[in-house]
Amino acid sequence: MLRDVLGLPWGFEIYSLLTRWNPLNIRRPLPASDTGRKVLVVGLGPAGYTLAHHLMNDGHTVVAVDGLKIEPLGFDPNRPIRDAETLFENLDDRVLAGFGGVAEYGITVRWNKNYLKLVRLLLERRAEFAMFGGVRFGGGGTVSIDDAWAMGFDHIALSMGAGKPTVIDMPGGLARGVRQASDFLMGLQLTGAAKMNSIANLQLRLPVVVIGGGLTAVDTATESLAYYVRQVEKFAWRHGTLVAERGEAAVRARWNAEEIEIATEFLAHAHAIRDERLAAARAGRAPQLAQLLDSWGGATVAYRRTLNEAPATRSTTRKWKRRWRKACASPRGCPRSK
């Protein structure tokens, strides 16, 4: 629905209006009048920027700070936008802008990160909002709690997340080839390893086994497969460039036995992917890369209980149960099938 609205001429302006004027909210279709209260929101991740939006609609003034440096937009945020597509960047070339917290550096690419720019614009256009990057909050930081009270803030909202990753104490947890799922996802996003021009050293081999049944586990499994394709294609392209410049013998001269094995494996898989892409183009169909990945071991999610008990499944099941109950409560009654 959001994509359809943004696809209209002046679609972003329509969306922007509806974030402030909700005709379906009978009790309060418009933002509340100014309360005179000022709130300091610490952290501009999903919690921080969402809270800031609702606080402003409740009539409060919001100043938001984040520890990361927030890059300027490069254009006037108040300039009317006819076509939302002009705001979007190629995700391969997109540079981390600092705004968005874990949505910027941790969440997977299945969510279009260009939407972060839309969220930022919705906030920056509001007269009740100000934002500052590179600000550390707390003792020894840029701003302390006492500083905030002295500046006249009425409330401080901490939206900084856990701040400390969970490291599972298990035998072999730090062995080669073993990574925490959250560490893998953050490494993939922060280093830009999936970009063709990135030289990040994030090596992944198949098969992949992900231990856990939550959404992070599912994200890790799907991202591993998507990244593996890009990784071997990048390796083959760079290998071909070096061989053309220096020759095969010179390129392989310093490789040990393990590196030769990995390189041979990556090149074979890259050539298989290239052949499948060419065959798909000739046949006018989508490349069937999933079958290739499965034949090389693919990704397996291992969970200690049944699939129906996995957190990722339970959250989806709860969502559909809510929709089912809501549909049954309608005048038309329950749908014919679930």
Strands 155-158 and 208-211, bridge-based pairing: unpaired
pTM of the model: 0.71
pLDDT of residue 110: 64
pLDDT of residue 55: 97
For the chain, give every domain's residue range.
2-158, 181-304
Phi, psi of 108 (to 5 degrees): -80, 170
Q: pLDDT per residue over 169-215, tens digit each?
A: 778 887 888 888 888 888 887 777 877 777 888 899 999 999 988 88
> Cis link prior to 207 (omega < 30° from 0)?
yes
Q: pLDDT per residue over 243-263, tens digit each?
A: 999 999 999 998 999 999 999
Phi-psi bin for 72: left (phi > 0), alpha (psi -120 to 50), beta? beta
Radius of gyration, CA atoms only, the chain: 25
Q: What is the 3-state secondary structure (H, E, C) of 127-146?
A: CCEEEEECCCECCCCCECHH
202 Cα distance to chain centroid:
18
| Residue 62: band (very low, low, confident or very high) from pLDDT cuts 50, 70, 90 | very high
Phi, psi of 51 (to 5 degrees): -60, -40
For residue 125, count CB atoms less than 10 angstroms from its CB and return exposed for 0-12, middle for 13-18, buried for 19 or more: middle
Copy the structure tokens of residue 287: 């490349």
pLDDT of residue 31: 94
What is the CATH number that goes with domain 2-158?
3.40.50.720
Q: pLDDT per residue over 134-180, tens digit each?
A: 999 987 788 999 999 999 999 999 998 766 666 777 788 878 888 88
